[in-house]
Amino acid sequence: MLLSSEEKERGIIAASAGNHALALAWHGKELGVPVTCVMPILAPLAKVDKCRKFGANVIIHGSHIGESRDFAQKEHPEMKYINGYDDPEIIAGAGTMGIEIIQQARDIDVILVPVGGGGLVAGVSLAVKTLHPHTQVIGVEPENAASFSAALKAGSPEKFFINGTIADGLAVPVVGTNAFEIAKHFVLLLGKFQKK
């Protein structure tokens, strides 16, 4: 809804293993905006099929979302790229989940949030820590796609990815820059790279 008329006409493109692609495909159909989703070869077939049923143009390319993203941006520069975990609007949208959690469970000590590219944990942690500073937000990521842990250890986003996680939506080789800059202030992380 924030796109210019020209961007809406040209359409949008995104790389996603499925969840972001599904959301864009659904809303694109509802708003009359053409959507192209570049999905890695390991994207679940059910998600690929549903994106197509929602009317998205699906391109299967890359062994992980990073390769899908590079392909999308290189091959379709005319389309607005919408990053599923690093666009400020996407991070803000994720924050609404944190607000809902606080509204529904007022006496909450800890919230566990899955971490892939970092957008969900950035939005949720920012909202939760703003409204309830005492609540801990703990990020949980696959050991084989621990890009947030690697960024914490390095001090900035850095590639860390080993193929082999069933958590397809979390298999992101490099955490988002915007997401990292927000989340690093609020999130504790389970695992060997936990920030002290």
- CATH number for the domain whose boundaries are 5-81: 3.40.50.1100
Q: How confident is the model at residue 193 (pLDDT cuts 50, 70, 90)?
A: very low
Helices (H), the chain: 5-10, 19-31, 45-53, 65-75, 88-104, 119-131, 147-154, 177-183
Least confident of 35-39, 114-118, 149-153, 156-160: 156-160
Share of the chain above pLDDT 90, in %: 76
88-189 and 5-81 share a CATH fold: yes
Binned at pLDDT 50, 70 and 90, residue 190 comes out as: low
pLDDT for 195 equals 42
Q: What percent of the chain has pLDDT over 70?
A: 94
CA–CA distance, 172 with 94 (Å, rounded to integer): 17
What is the C-alpha to C-alpha distance for residues 87 and 68, in angstroms, rounded to an integer?
Answer: 17
Q: Average pLDDT over the chain, rounded to whole?
A: 91
pLDDT of residue 106: 78
Q: Domain 88-189's class?
A: alpha beta
With a cut of 60, say whether residue 132 has pLDDT above it.
yes
- The full set of domain ranges for the chain reads 5-81, 88-189
